[in-house]
Amino acid sequence: MASRRTTFAIGAGLSLLFAGFPVVAHAHGGAPHTVEDHIEEDSVAHTPALERRLERRTVAATAADADAVAAAVADDPGQVGEWGQVLDWPVVGVHAALLENGKVLAYDSIGDRATEADPVHDRTRATVWDPATGTHTRVDVNTGFNVFCSGLAHLMDGSLFLAGGNKNAQLDGIAQTHVFNSSTNTWSLGPSMAFERWYPTVTPLRDGEMLITEGGPDTPEVRRTDGSLRTLSGASLNLPLYPWMHVSPDGRAFYAGPNQTMRSLDPAGQGSWQSFGPRDQLNRGYGSHALFDVGKMLVAGGASPASRDARVIDLNGATPQVSTTAPMESARRQHNLTVLADGSVLTTGGLSSSESLVDLNNGVYPAELWNPATGQWQTLAAMQVTRQYHSTALLLPDGRVLSSGGGLCGACDSRGYLAKNAEVFSPPYLFKKDGSGGLAPRPEITSAPSEIPYNAPFAVSVPNAASIGKVALVRLGAVTHSVNMEQRYIPLSFTRGCGALRATAPANPNIAPPGVYMLFVIGADGVPSVAKMVRVSASAAAPPSELPPCPPDNPPPADTGPGAPPAVAAPPPDTGTSTAPPVDRRAPTLAVRVARRQRVLRARGVVVSARCDERCTVSAGGRLKIGRRSYALGRVSRTTRPDHLTAFKVRLTRRATLALRRALNRRTPATVRIGLRGRDAAGNGSALVRSVVRAVR
């Protein structure tokens, strides 16, 4: 076939040229219902050079909106949180899953060429990202199959199970299943399904089996715990692609959307469905949902045009009950809802118009936080990169949220959208509330069992246990296309002791399907610990549950449980017998020296010196302000010796350099606002130190 050349106009004076096939923007109002609906959406043609041009186009087209929104939001991290720097990634984060080791697996498709232009689909780009070091390890899928547009969720042992993917240039599904082992970073093939699937949902069930729904075929399948597959021939039902499925407190798989009718699937035997009434009147195509408490789900946004509407579904009775909650501040579709360590729900990204996939003129940049106790939303800090179609978000073990991806579709290319990068959001609960911008002291789990059985008590060692107000489990997330297939939040009842807590595991697997969870303790001030990974299993041996004895002059605090007001007491005195090392909570002190007028353009950045009173890793960043416009600068981190003055250069980005050159030539005032923060080896952060530098010729 002769090569065809198709040109798309993108803004004034800029066009993109694609060789070999036409790219068509496809829009439809509600949820994607069939495989055919997606063929045009996922048509892509990329070379490395084109990827770089698309990313530059995305930045150029959205910079003004991002800057304007950021300027309108208060800059106290204790109130609105804080976004980190934009990190380049080797893949687009179309699919992302938190692993048992605290790292993140992300994968997209076969590579830079068009999905339908490649005759052979025998591999997939994949990476494992380490949040602790920022490093990537390539773990490409080389099993002979492309797992683009698969369903994904964790097995009981913490490995990741994938169902389906992309077969050929016609975007047919595949019958193959895959398993990723995070201990060895290796892929293996599982058994083939009875049907080829593309855009299926995978749902962990109460007995450790994995439910596979949709992806084209209407008949569900189940992966047994021995790895074999069975078909639910009695439960064929036409649903939208990537249906919202989760185990409810009655043990069945509840279907919440994206279309209106609520249902439950009993996976026993041949399977059977029960239908309930409508959730609401919206077809929430490309909306999102999150289980924020036992049997309680928040659904928000989606539809066309994008909606602000949000509802709560309560699954704890005989039939699901739907109630209204406050609408989001911004209408959204293509966004992600992420349950946080304290049970609140974060929404990130999306677009606010009636466009199906991408609208660079109507990206939503501020995050929002939903409070389950009040039902209200709070506007938070704004991200730097618009996250729309094919973007993902995941809760990390340290309580932060990874936001990654966007692009890699025909409509994305025709609009010049690609986000082959990621940002990490630090929610307000990680910061002090005194306006300093410093990180808040965190409670610490010094020991916890690696495995717990259902409805059993277990001990968690926590210094200053009297200050703990909440204990919770959060299931590892696995997300694609705004659908997190297994995140759920489970508050635990607990009793405080001296230096330890006695918590009670979830009552049964309907509440917490067997598998790996993050265990968080949350202080009375709302600050969460870094999580410990805990496997919940019916076969687990009973762990130790006895609390250490309290000193005679320090009786144990009052008992507590989910929702009970915590009693805050001083830490027990040091008797010299504690086995846990003392926790360093002292924040380092950071001093900064900077010239108020600098030749920023000539130096290609701002020079600043910092001194920390102990060994610190000092991070610095900033923004160039020219009139009402602002431009992000690069970020830099250096480790400093105690009381040693260390010089930094916060470098101009290419975009900031061009803007500053124009401003200086026109004699337009330009300033650089920089911020520095130090963090010691114990993770304690200094107050944020800010300075303003005037750029001169």
Give yes or no: residues 594 and 528 share one domain.
no
Give yes or no: residues 551 and 601 share one domain.
no
The reported pLDDT for the residue numbered 14 is: 31
Q: Name the residue among 190, 93, 104, 84 with its Cα closest to residue 476.
A: 104
- Is 467 part of any domain? yes
Q: What pLDDT, in 10s, does the model give residues 654-684?
A: 888 989 999 999 889 999 988 888 888 776 7
Give yes or no: residues 537 and 597 share one domain.
no
CATH code for the domain in which residue 600 is found: 2.60.40
Give yes or no: residues 516 and 603 share one domain.
no
Give yes or no: residues 676 and 595 share one domain.
yes
Torsion of the alpha carbons at 378, 384, 388 and 393, rounded to the nearest 10: -70
Residue 321 has pLDDT above 90, yes or no: yes
Q: Name the residue among 681, 461, 689, 445 with its Cα closest to residue 585.
A: 681
Q: Name the residue among 234, 232, 253, 256 with its Cα closest to residue 244.
A: 256
- Is 379 part of any domain? no
The answer to whether 476 and 489 are in contact (CB under 8 A) is no
In this prediction, residue 620 has a pLDDT band, given cuts at 50, 70 and 90, of: confident
What is the maximum alpha-carbon separation in the chain?
A: 88
The reported pLDDT for the residue numbered 39 is: 55
Residue 49 has pLDDT above 50, yes or no: yes
The reported pLDDT for the residue numbered 7 is: 28
Give yes or no: residues 594 and 541 share one domain.
no
CATH code for the domain in which residue 491 is found: 2.60.40.10
List the domain range (segments joined by +) for residue 507: 451-560
- Domain count for the chain: 2
Give yes or no: residues 523 and 608 share one domain.
no
Q: Reduce the DSSP state of residue 80 to 3 states and report it.
A: helix
- Is 476 part of any domain? yes
Give yes or no: residues 599 and 536 share one domain.
no
Give yes or no: residues 550 and 602 share one domain.
no
Q: What pLDDT, in 10s, does the model give residues 300-315?
A: 999 999 999 999 999 9
- Is 248 part of any domain? no
Task: Out of 520, 545, 560, pick the residue that ends a domain.
Answer: 560
Residue entry with tokens 């490995």: 159
- Is 460 part of any domain? yes
Burial class from Cβ neighbours inside 10 Å (0-12, 13-18, 19+) for residue 676 reads buried
Residue 8 has pLDDT above 60, yes or no: no
Give yes or no: residues 464 and 539 share one domain.
yes
Task: Out of 560, 578, 608, pick the residue that ends a domain.
Answer: 560
Q: How many CB atoms lie within 10 A of CB 553?
A: 8
Q: How far apart are CA 256 and CA 243, in angstroms?
A: 8
Residue 59 has pLDDT above 70, yes or no: no
